[in-house]
Amino acid sequence: MTRLTPVPFYFMRHGETDWNRRRIMQGHTDIALNAHGIAQAEEVAPAVAKLPIASICCSTLSRARRTAEIVNTRKLPIVVIDDLKECGFGIYEGQDAAGAWREDWRNGASIPQGESLDVYTARLARGLNAALANTGPVLIVGHGGSVAPLERMAKIATGLKIANCALYRFDPPANGTEAWTYTALTEPSGPSLIIGEAQAL
């Protein structure tokens, strides 16, 4: 498995979309931020402005790209990287996000017309390492589906959940360990969503 470039970075999930709100899988389907998603990005923008970042990288999908633009109040360079986009969920895009197929996908099952977790992990690794080749520290604005492959690459125990517009810092292994560490920095107030599930904050 491709390893992540061992440098600290920041990761932020895009703001809410109408499909998030309706608990529908998006994948490569290019759904824009809704009004709440825009407000979420505006709320966390001051926290992003305080980060010691030198560049921002984001997915080509508009929900991530627009989030990156909103939080970029310091007018840093934004690099758009296709390999950072969400997993292609094939026939399940536009369907219920809570489908039973998701656990099978996490266990290695293929998706008709979509990407397996192995294929997606390899692609996302290319995207993350391309992002980390930019002047850093780097903020990466991506997707909820990035969490499962990121856990694998960073050797983090499963269970990490990242809500819309939640901001995290990832640090490379230290003291002879293999696992990265992560720190939750901030997330918007009010209701938020974790990969299709409503959660009151």
Domain residues for the domain of 91 are 9-137+147-175+182-199
Instruction: Look up 28 and say whether it is catalytic.
Output: no
What pLDDT, on the 0 to 100 scale, is given for residue 197? Answer: 42
> Would you say residue 1 lies in a domain?
no
> Would you say residue 87 lies in a domain?
yes
> Would you say residue 52 lies in a domain?
yes
CATH code for the domain of 46: 3.40.50.1240
- Of residues 196 and 23, the one with the higher pLDDT is 23
Total count of domains within the chain: 1
pLDDT band at 15 (very low <50, low <70, confident <90, very high): very high
> Would you say residue 24 lies in a domain?
yes
Alpha helices per DSSP H over the chain: 18-21, 35-49, 62-71, 101-106, 117-132, 147-153
> Would you say residue 2 lies in a domain?
no
> Would you say residue 3 lies in a domain?
no
> Would you say residue 72 lies in a domain?
yes
Cβ contact 167:187 at 8 Å: yes
Alpha carbons within 13 A on the beta-carbon side of 154: 26
Residues in the chain: 201
Rounded to an integer, the average pLDDT of 50-54 is 97
> Would you say residue 63 lies in a domain?
yes
Alpha-carbon separation of residue 124 from 1, 40, 50, 113 (angstroms): 11, 25, 27, 18
Terminal Cα distance for the chain, rounded: 35
Residue 195 has pLDDT above 60, yes or no: no
Residue 178 CB partners (closer than 8 Å, separation 6+): 155
Q: Per-residue pLDDT tens for 139-158?
A: 999 999 898 899 889 998 77
Active-site position among 86, 93, 115, 187: 86
Instruction: Look up 16 and say whether it is catalytic.
Output: no
Active-site position among 14, 93, 143, 187: 14
Percent of the chain at pLDDT > 90 equals 72
